[in-house]
Amino acid sequence: MKTSIDIDQALLERARKRAQRDRVTIKHLVETGLRLALREPVVDRSAPPFVWPSAGTGLSQPLGTWTVNEMIDATREQEASRR
């Protein structure tokens, strides 16, 4: 199917160089890019679901009041105390 689109000149030039280097057509690059962009993410159903470390662990303050580093430190301390 034929269609027309406006592409940034610098991007088109990069695409032409890549197509020439890879010995493919611009059409091939565009189709490949669209397939990648439209691909649905793969969900690994074999992995256990993620559970926030604070869930049910009795952290001393509400989750929203912690900095990221404080959460990491608290989680590491809890893991170390379980060993």
Query: Does the pLDDT value for residue 56 go beyond 70?
Result: no
Which residues have CB under 8 Å from 59's CB, separation 6+? Answer: 66, 74
Q: What is the pLDDT of residue 49?
A: 72
Q: What residues does each domain of the chain span?
A: 9-38
Top pLDDT among 21 and 77 is at: 21
Going by pLDDT thresholds of 50, 70 and 90, the confidence category of residue 14 is very high
pTM: 0.48
The HSE-up count of residue 49 (CA atoms within 13 Å, CB side) is 2
What is the C-alpha to C-alpha distance for residues 35 and 37, in angstroms, rounded to an integer? 6
Q: What is the pLDDT of residues 74-83, one digit of tens each?
A: 888 877 877 7
Mean pLDDT of 36-60: 72
